[in-house]
Amino acid sequence: MVKKGLLLVNLGSPVSPLNKDVKAYLQEFLSDQHVVELPKWFWQPLLRGIILPTRTWRSATFYQHMWRKGGSPLVIYTKIMCEKIQKELTDWDVQYAMTYGKPDIGQQLHKMKEAGDDQIVVLPLFPQYTKSTHGGIIQQVADSGIKATIIKSFYQYPQYQKLLAHQIDQSYQQKNYDAVIFSYHGIPTAMVKHGDPYLKECRETTAAVTKFLQLPHEKIRMTFQSKFGPMPWLKPYLKNTLMQLAAMGKRNVLIVTPSFVEDCLETIEENNVQNYQTFRASGGRVFDAVPPMNASDAFCSFLAEISKNQLVQDGGGYDERAKEKES
């Protein structure tokens, strides 16, 4: 009998909020050329000499604010997803790994292969594809030498779109909001110019989810957040949009973050602290956020279903289309 395996992959987290662990995590993350495409000879001295010394303590402070007894929320929710999906896929071997930090993707794949998993699905926990998140995963899967089918995106499934729309409608009913902002994690505009499909997929996500929403569609805005570095990133920026809305008298906003499936640094610290403060300082009054999926039963059932369907479609071999899409 063929044994099937599913490897959930998330971004990763420092092992603790201490400066030394945050620094090690940031160094691994920001050294990935799928994330920062600048030449190593230029980027590495800048990273080690300026960025890590100045950014580490600030990031460590944010992690300390959001840290929970079981670790970072991103890791906690990934573990819960793994456990719930294992209960859905009783005859599968369900594991998780992180692109940066532990557990390591390659090590987990070898562990699964040694356990007898003949057909393995790798599921990045990012609804939309971009090289900056998927590129490192695809590379690590290829480097492991273990054949696996990679699910490149899942924003396009109506089941996911309806789940997200339901969450938004539930939150919207609580108050009288002037605007509903779809805020996606940004990427450098240069990546899009070089063929990255992320912007297109974000627009398609917003349009598809909007069709299922009960709220007035004219209230919906689309923005990008989490800009890093001096280079231009996808616009409009969330922070600028918040200030503009407040100046226009739209003082009650609801934020939805479709590129994040669990609470993390961007949703907890960047939005609920920094962007909240910006909005309030600009004259805003109500700043609420739609909770991410956060390992909900319905979302975990959806992930289990698309994992089963992926093996039927691709037959369990390494997904060369994903590799081509990255290049």
Of residues 128, 134, 130, 127, the one with CA closest to residue 150: 134
262 marked among binding-site residues: no
166 marked among binding-site residues: no
The binding site comprises 185, 266
The binding site for Fe(2+) comprises 185, 266
